Amino acid sequence: MDSWSLSNGKPIRQGCRPASGFNLLIAFCLIRGLMAAGASPHPPSERAKLGPAANLQDLARRAARESVWPSLRRYAVSTKDSEERGLAYFALGYREYGAGETSRASADLARAAATGFSLADFALYYRAEAAQEPALVVEALQGFSTRYPESTLRYDALALLAQAFLQTSQPERAIEVLTAEPKVQQRPGLVLLLAKAYGQAQRLPEAAKAFGDVYHAFPAAPEAAVAGAALKRLKAQLGAGFPAVTEEVQVHRAARLLSASRYREALEEFNALIDSYPSSPSGSAWRLARARCLIRMKRVQDAVDALSGSFAGNPQADAERLATLVEAYSRLDNSASMLIVLDQLRNVYPQSESYRSALFWAGALFADKGDWATAVRYYQPLAEAAPTTDLGREANWRVAWANYLQGDTEKAGLGFAEHLRHYPDSPHVPAALYWFGRLAEERGATSEARALYELLAKRFVDGYYPLQANRRLKSLNGDPAGRAGPAHAPTTPEAGGPPLAEALEKIPPREPPRAGLCAATPGEIPRPFLTLTALSLDDLAEQYLKTLLSNRPSGTEVLLALTNLQAEQGEYSDALFNAKRLVPNYFEYQSSELPREMWQWLYPRAFWSVVQRQARLNRLDPYLVMALIRQESAFNPKATSVANARGLMQVLPKTAAKGLSRRRRRGVGQRLYDPAYNIRLACRYFRQMLDAFNGNVEQALAAYNAGDFRVKDWLSQRSFRDPPEFVESIPFRETRLYVETVMRDEVVYRRLLSGSPRFMKCGQSAN
């Protein structure tokens, strides 16, 4: 049995049973189950280091029910240990606060803080949160940052204190405490409070400056809208006294909005800059940025119109203008206009980076059409002119792939070998090894092919191409001719060519797993976290760790503790993403190279029973459905995409409503957040995709991601000999990676859920 189990998709704590000897969980469980017998072998001073006694832990765990509060209060009154008394009153007060019993909560949290126990800063802060009177907030939090300079609640307490001063019409005191904190300017919420304090104190120019700091320095923050409204009012009040906003500050705001993908707001800002500073030497750059906003907003023709005039006197900007036009015409599928502009760019700015990026867009347009022969005309010069750039590397690969698709095996082989030699850390290395192996098979060099496949499977383990390589190896092992002779170092097919072995030696070895995945000890885990979890205050424990990670770099043990807690609470998506932070290249490791818990975090098992049932009803592979959920939503039932796809398997409301009566369509969008409903509809829809593409899983996955009409268009342009050839030819990078990832994860889920994988144990090194 795993160290945690599932029931209806929800985790059930099974006590503390770290099956793999995972030391972090041992420490975690040490606090959860400390002194389960009800007696402590440690004196009070030692218990403060280890955590609360078992009987207090039990009361705190059950204190979510109001009926337990009297028992917890009796414990707090009767215990002789000040640490235990403080913890008991704190657990009681926080539960009262959560239940809306604010006056009782404030009193009990004050009693907790008075003991000077280890979480006194938490008690004071939540006493202030529970207080009905601003005076009590001031009493609780005055001097908080001096008393608790390392508290994760420091800035929250400062905000609460400043608000209390504003509520009691003491703006100067709010200004005093806020300006005393050197990091206020890094936090938009605190700067906004400072601006409000200046406004209440009638220091209007200073208020305008502070509101402006929020509006211009943090344009993507929620506080920016409040600051913007305040600035409009102040501008009317101050008139000529309103502080001038410099061009530099406006540009900073526009650029921040653009980088945050807030294209509509960024467009407004760049338009305002163009209108306000018509003679600025930066005008060309703003016009370019405006056009890029329009392209991202899918107003591509508007972008073309905006770039119709040349940028005389600014060659670099004019080259970028032409390159942006090439991109726009490529997106409009207007190859004739695109090539006219590309010729102009080549004639006027042939050495510019802009010309190189335009070459890539031209190649991409023809590749999207399946016309790889024409695409090569643009990829080839780009690969030759910019070999050290990302675009040059990508173009180099696409040239090799185009030659393969066109049946020029000699050029393709040379291209694959060249890519391996020059770009040994390229994301296309697994594909290059695989397709070079396929070429070797076609030449009858089965030993060479086997060597390539074995290298690929061993080095990259669980990627899409290693999985394909394993399938080819099984095929070769079933061929008596393929078993003849030992595998030998591959060579390039051309006469006199350098051996491919030289290129293979350049492929960097796998990074070892991050140190410390199993090495955390109780002394390394922050004590407040252990204490909070021992009191079953998991929401506070989680927030504590998140703040700790955001405020300063922390060791692996903090992220491990957070990931484990999130998984326990059923926050599968957060746990998954944090596990990826811990092991970014997890797919390159065997099961035995990572602990069991890491695999459980990376590949959640939630909703498995629902998936099995719906997969069976729709004749689907349940492991494939789990892989789809992982890729679509990372097991977040409330996930919503920018396109309004919803739920675990990201179903569009309009897709879910197809075929339903008007009455039954009501509420469909909201129901998509229900896991069972979402999985049922999505499995039915994916079955339709599979049927539409004759059971071809890769094509059905591409249709699920990019739309069936696009896949039908790609298939109409050319025929593909097998699924991997189709996958590598998918023109949308996002869709290609999507298909590869789901196919990979299906195999991993099959191994984890139906196999008997061996996991790494703490104290045991990975092989």
Q: Which residues are catalytic?
A: 632
The secondary structure element, H or E, covering residue 7 is strand 5-7
The answer to whether the CB of 192 falls within 8 A of the CB of 207 is no
The secondary structure element, H or E, covering residue 654 is helix 653-657
Beta strands in 322-405 (DSSP E): none
**Chain-centroid distance, C-alpha 361:** 27
CA distance 206 to 215: 14
> Residue 148 has which token pair?
């608790």
Q: Report H helices in 461-602.
A: 464-477, 480-483, 500-504, 527-534, 538-551, 556-568, 572-582, 596-602
**Chain-centroid distance, C-alpha 211:** 31
**Chain-centroid distance, C-alpha 123:** 33
The secondary structure element, H or E, covering residue 595 is none
Residue 412 identity (one-letter amino acid): A
> Residue 765 has which token pair?
């090194």
> Helix, strand, or coil here: 287?
helix
């030696």: which residue's tokens? Answer: 505
Q: Residue 608 forms beta bridges with which residues? A: none
Quote the DSSP letter at residue 80.
Answer: -
Q: Report H helices in 8-153.
A: 23-32, 44-50, 54-62, 69-78, 82-98, 102-114, 120-130, 134-141, 144-147
> Helix, strand, or coil here: 10?
strand
Residue 168 burial (CB count, 10 A): 15
The answer to whether the CB of 327 falls within 8 A of the CB of 300 is no
DSSP for 293-324, please give it: HHHHTT-HHHHHHHT-S--TT-HHHHHHHHHH
The answer to whether the CB of 483 falls within 8 A of the CB of 450 is no
> Residue 129 has which token pair?
């949160």
> Residue 330 has which token pair?
């490529």
Single out the residue of 92, 26, 104, 97 nearest to residue 56, CA to CA.
92
What is the dihedral sign for C-alpha 718, 722, 725, 731? positive
CA distance 671 to 165: 45
> Residue 93 has which token pair?
């007060």
Residue 298 burial (CB count, 10 A): 11
CA distance 178 to 190: 7
CA distance 105 to 481: 80
Determine whether 280 is exposed, middle or buried from the number of CB atoms within 10 Å of its CB (0-12, 13-18, 19+): middle
Determine whether 316 is exposed, middle or buried from the number of CB atoms within 10 Å of its CB (0-12, 13-18, 19+): middle
What are the Cα distances from residue 10, in Å, to 4, 23, 185, 535, 637?
10, 24, 42, 21, 12
Burial 505-535 (b: 16+ CB within 10 A, else e): eebeeeeebbebbbebebebbbbbbbbbbbb
CA distance 97 to 124: 13
Q: Compute the C-alpha angle 142/144/146, nearest 5°.
A: 110
Report the first-to-last Cα separation within the chain, whole angstroms.
24
Single out the residue of 167, 116, 110 nearest to residue 141, CA to CA.
110
